[in-house]
Amino acid sequence: MKTFSQLTKTQKNKAVEHYTNLLLKEIVEGTVRFNDKLNKDDLQARIDKAWKKAEAMQTPWFVGEYIMDTCRDDIESLAEANAEDALYPEENESVCFAQIA
């Protein structure tokens, strides 16, 4: 297994992109929401504003782009933290995904 710091620059970029797409999907689906008061920021308010823009323009399929237009730095920062916490298998290693909770 490799840690994030052991990956090449290209692999790191792909890992961050993967976690960015995953987080954005969860935001769009509504399975992830942020508490602006607790976090002392306005991330969820900006996400909600992007949703309102998509609804007003009658283009809900573009909500992901609208969210990324206003929240890219925050989402990529969160995604990078997730990528840094992950382990990455070597080419011939097998991985077992078991839910233990």
Q: pLDDT per residue over 33-73, tens digit each? A: 999 999 999 999 999 999 999 999 999 999 999 999 999 99
The pairing of strands 87-88 and 2-3 is antiparallel
Q: Given its phi and psi angles, is residue 89 left (phi above 0), alpha (psi -120 to 50 degrees) or beta?
A: beta
Who wins on pLDDT, 56 or 97? Answer: 56
In angstroms, the Cα distances linking 8 to 2, 70, 82, 94 are 11, 29, 17, 20
Q: For 4-29, write each residue's pLDDT tens digit.
A: 999 999 999 999 999 999 999 999 99
Indicate the pLDDT class of residue 85, thresholds 50, 70 and 90.
very high
The predicted model scores a pTM of 0.87
Structure-token pair, residue 61: 């399929």
100 pLDDT more than 80: no
pLDDT of residue 94: 85
Report the alpha-carbon angle 12-14-19, nearest 5: 95
Say if residues 16 and 76 touch (Cβ distance below 8 Å). yes
pLDDT of residue 101: 66
